[in-house]
Amino acid sequence: MKSDKQKEGINAAAALNDKTNSLYSRMLLYAVTDRSWLNGRSLRQDVLSALQGGATMIQLREKELDFQSFLSEAKEIKAVCAQYKVPLIINDNIEIALACGADGVHLGQSDETARNARLKLGKDKIIGISVQTAEQAAAAQQEGADYLGVGAVFATSTKKDADFVSYEVLKSICSSVSIPVCAIGGINKQNIMQLAGSGIDGVALVSAIFVAQDIESECIELLKLSKRMVQA
């Protein structure tokens, strides 16, 4: 008979596997916000349109807002995501994630480690880490990351100083970890199929979604392409 401690360990492992498994499908169309493309629209409306088009996860990325403005916006976006049962991830701000009740955070290599983030957020929150090498990927997984974002896989206007990650490196990252991986950086309808066979579980998109005049229709089309690419 297993001891209570052994049972707790088994239950914890099962819960972790459930979270990881559910994240694979969340990678398919991961929408990352960018207010520079709003053109008079509200961020809430753009996110709602993305969700209506099938976005599988939303990342709220704000670099200029003060804390209170960011928090107010995060709560509003969280409410919209909750309606569609889609996770909201906060970029690079654990305090905002905690305050708004977000589902997790996404952190870069120069931000807090996954281990420190886990201590602050608890075991149930989602932690994503940006990586550019297989070594960084393995380290992030070891520290408790739930998924990885890899890029930039193509030239991108969103982050002009982003390091380029080749197809071969992307493939090596995917084969070096057992957690979900999404690619990011310059991905659009014209080049998404070039990522087929790399082992990624989906794509994170910024301008490919939010520059569109009809965001909902764009997401419907991008989701179909992403599914085809992952299954190829």
Concerning whether 41 is annotated as a catalytic residue, the answer is: no
Q: Which of 130, 176, 198, 226 is catalytic?
A: 130
Amino acid at 129: I
- Answer for the pair 133, 169: CB distance below 8 angstroms, yes or no: yes
In the block, tokens 């989701």 appear at 223
Q: Annotated catalytic residue: which of 118, 159, 171, 227?
A: 159
- Per DSSP, the three-state class of 188 is coil
Q: Say whether 7 is catalytic.
A: no
Distance CA 224, CA 12 (A): 34
- Chain position carrying tokens 């009809």: 214
- C-alpha 57 chain-centroid distance: 7
Q: 29 in helix, strand or coil?
A: strand
Which of 47, 84, 37 lies closest to 219 in space, CA to CA? 47
Q: Which of 35, 61, 75, 224 is catalytic?
A: 61
159 is catalytic: yes
Within 13 Å and on the Cβ side, how many CA atoms surround 206? 21
Catalytic residues: 61, 130, 159
